[in-house]
Amino acid sequence: MTAKILILPGDGIGPEIIAEAAKVLECLRQEHGLDVTLDYGLLGGGAVDALGEPYPDQTRRQAHEADAILLGAVGGPKWEALDRPLRAEHGLLLIRADLGVFANLRPAILYPQLTAASTLKPEVVAGLDILIVRELTGDIYFGQPRGIRTLDSGEREGFNTMIYRESEIKRIARVGFEAARKRQRKLCSVDKANALEVSELWRDVVTRVAKDYPDVALSHLYVDNAAMQLVRAPKQFDVIVTGSLFGDILSDCAAMLTGSIGMLPSASLDANGKGLYEPIHGSAPDIAGKGMANPLATILSAAMLLRYSLKAPEQAERIERAVGRVLDQGLRTLDIMANGMTPVGTQAMGDAVVAAL
């Protein structure tokens, strides 16, 4: 059956990088037998401008009908001052919650060709291959109560609630253990159990789930130590499982180990493998429209989409091999460029990947 892919270009560099990923999918469709249709929709600031909300009903319907969704990036200065429900990023949080994509997989892989692009010493990062499993639909991002209130004294107070249910911890822990099983069988759970009750429960539940996975070595780290270990000796990690807030921070940190956040894809999956796929970087308004952005994270997100939601691993590998080949050829966008190289633009990079397919 023909699989339906919904494409949400979003804001900033979103449309530019998505155009390159769409070219790649289109090439697989026309020349390599990939059976898909590509449909387009609005999310984020563009959706606010056109329809008055960041996750409009129309997009919601399209998202529920699709087999998988590929997203560029959302947000920009134009929408930052609006009320929270009208902000571009709010659309992203809404679509994740609405689709129940609780398992966010963020691989941080260092391509051997890019070792010099990392700010860390080559011996510290060479061969790096980490998977961060970030819980995506709970935690302090969604916890109630939340708000900004004015106290009797007239002073304002902002508050959010960090909260996790046992069932939420259990299901993300299982994703972490299952992923570790397919890799080096090492899972590190990250929390702040020395200061937070929610983390105390997190650690207890993860430890219980571990009984079903005796073949996986489980360790625990406090998030502050985990941040330090990630830059001190990142290769000690295989799979990291953590809550949404800690995972947000640690995944940006892990991204930099690989030289550029412009290289890293992500998958956000529901309980049935339906997913939302996006580069982990943002909409980069400062370079939007300049044709400078690195489209590889989005192209690699399309590969993850083919692997996880469309169960087409051979097509995913075709994309990943093509990306390896363009890096071998020495093609670099500005963000991954080493001294003495001439950067290529967004389109040239996309064209090179298509040629290498």
Question: Which residues contribute to the site for ligand IPM (CB under 6 A)?
Answer: 89, 92-93, 248, 280
Q: Which is nearer to ligand IPM, 248 or 335 (CB)?
A: 248
Q: Which does 89 bind (CB under 5 to 8 A by kind): ligand IPM, Mg ion, none?
A: ligand IPM
Size of the site for Mg ion (CB under 5 A): 1
Q: Residue 329 corresponds to which tokens in the numbers above?
A: 């050829």
Do residues 37 and 310 touch, judged by C-beta distance below 8 A? no
Q: What letter represents residue 342's amino acid? A: T
CA distance 327 to 286: 25
Nearer to ligand IPM, 75 or 176 (CB): 75
Is 67 a residue that touches Mg ion (CB under 5 A)? Answer: no
Question: Minimal distance in Å, beta carbon 280 to Mg ion?
Answer: 7
21 binds, among Mg ion, ligand IPM, none (CB under 5 to 8 A by kind): none
Is there a contact between 153 and 145 (Cβ–Cβ < 8 Å)?
A: no
- Which region holds residue 234: left if phi is over 0, alpha if psi is between -120 and 50, else beta? alpha
Count other Cβ atoms within 10 Å, centred on residue 77. Answer: 10
Question: Whole-number minimum distance, CB 92 to ligand IPM, in Å?
Answer: 6
Nearer to ligand IPM, 6 or 132 (CB): 132
Structure-token match 């789930």, residue found: 209
Distance CA 221, CA 191 (A): 6
Which one of ligand IPM, Mg ion, none interacts with residue 92, CB within 5 to 8 A by kind? ligand IPM
Which residues on adjacent β-strands are paired with residue 3? Answer: 36
Nearer to Mg ion, 191 or 248 (CB): 248
Question: Applying CB under 5 A, which of residues 248, 278, 320, 335 lies at the interface with Mg ion?
Answer: 248
Q: Which is nearer to Mg ion, 93 or 354 (CB)?
A: 93
Q: Which residues pair with 219 in a beta bridge?
A: 188
CB of 248 to ligand IPM, least distance (A): 4
Helix, strand or coil, per DSSP, at residue 207: helix
Kindly state the DSSP code that residue 293 receives in the 8-state scheme. S
- Residues noted as catalytic: 141, 192, 224, 248, 252
Q: Please state, as a whole number, how many other Cβ atoms lie within 10 Å of the Cβ of residue 65.
A: 10
Q: How far is the CB of 268 from ligand IPM (least distance, A)?
A: 9
- C-beta of 165: minimal distance to ligand IPM in Å? 19
Residues interacting with Mg ion, by CB under 5 A?
248
